Amino acid sequence: MSKLPLPDLGAYLREQRESAQLSLRQLAEMAGVSNPYLSQIERGLKRPSAEILQQIAKGLQVSAESLYVRAGILDERVTDGDPAAVPDVLSAIAADPVLTDRQRAVLVDIYLSFVGTDEATPSPAVEPPRAPRVTPKPAAAPRRRPRSTTADATPELNEKEN
């Protein structure tokens, strides 16, 4: 994975913020971070998480993926010169109207944890544990009420017969 220097990310964020005519304080509030922390990100002193980058991207109205690439979290992917040839998972997550912002951030973090490393770690071919087999019990026959005689059921009839 190519790691661009953090000042490039910070300079890009500052440039985008200024072109959006947002103050440092306004963008910090939109992203849910402190003013000093955003300032440190812009100066290249702090490395923001994917979740913070996503919130900053939302405030700046830029793609989160472009910030991930600039932060070195994600490789810029091009297949045969056609960027559309590679499925854009991050855009799909960002565009899903059903997901909340928190769910989007968690999905992005999970996705990046799988694809965001230089060396793929092969997982051992291990079958998942199987649930114990349970033999269903045969259904119990419905209980029948004991037959009642007419003498038990209708006391009036008993009196008439006597």
Q: What is the pLDDT of residues 41-89, one digit of tens each?
A: 999 999 998 899 999 999 998 888 888 888 888 776 643 444 453 357 7
**The domain that contains 66 carries what CATH number?**
1.10.260.40
Residue 140 covered by a domain: no
Q: Which residues contact 3 (CB under 8 A, 6 or more apart)?
A: 72
**Count of structural domains within the chain:** 1
Tokens (6 digits) for 84:
């559309």
pLDDT digits (tens, 9 = 90+) for 120-143: 344 444 444 555 565 556 666 666
Range of the domain at 73: 6-115
The pLDDT assigned to 35 comes to 94
pLDDT digits (tens, 9 = 90+) for 16-54: 999 999 999 999 999 999 999 999 999 999 999 889 999
Whether 75 and 69 have beta carbons less than 8 Å apart is answered as yes
Angle at 40 between CA 39 and CA 46, to 5 degrees: 145
At 140, which amino acid appears? Answer: A
